């Protein structure tokens, strides 16, 4: 059961990483539409910052989760020596 949980966490980490990369590819397509909204035109720099921070944190969190669970998986597969 523990191994299934680790595999699920690995998949979740990969999805977080891909979502972060997706945010970086999507920002240049969405920002021109956001710039046309008068309310957000004055704080466009802050909006850029928030989107890039979101992407960075998703990539960082996904990478951390992948690394930690790969380490756990390797420890589970190693035979115990008495």
Average pLDDT, the chain: 91
Confidence of residue 8 (pLDDT cuts 50, 70, 90): very high
CA dihedral angle for residue 65, residue 70, residue 71, residue 74, rounded to 10 degrees? 160
The verdict on residue 50 lying in a domain is yes
Angle at 72 between CA 23 and CA 80, to 5 degrees: 165
Q: Which of 59, 58, 33, 35 is nearest to 45 (CA)?
A: 35
Which pair of tokens denotes residue 18?
């891909």
The verdict on residue 9 lying in a domain is yes
Residues spanned by the domain of 27: 2-75
The verdict on residue 81 lying in a domain is no
The verdict on residue 82 lying in a domain is no
Q: How many domains does the chain have?
A: 1
The verdict on residue 80 lying in a domain is no
Neighbours of 16 (CB within 10 A): 20
Q: What percent of the chain has pLDDT over 90?
A: 74
Confidence of residue 80 (pLDDT cuts 50, 70, 90): low
d(CA 45, CA 61): 24
Confidence of residue 64 (pLDDT cuts 50, 70, 90): very high
């Amino acid at each position: 059961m523990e191994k299934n949980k680790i595999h699920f966490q690995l998949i979740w980490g990969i999805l977080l990483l891909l979502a972060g990369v997706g945010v970086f590819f999507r920002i240049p397509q969405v920002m021109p539409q956001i710039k046309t909204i008068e309310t957000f035109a004055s704080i466009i720099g802050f909006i850029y910052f928030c989107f890039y921070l979101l992407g960075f944190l998703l990539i960082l969190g996904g990478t951390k989760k992948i690394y930690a669970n790969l380490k756990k998986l390797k420890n589970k597969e190693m035979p115990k020596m008495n």
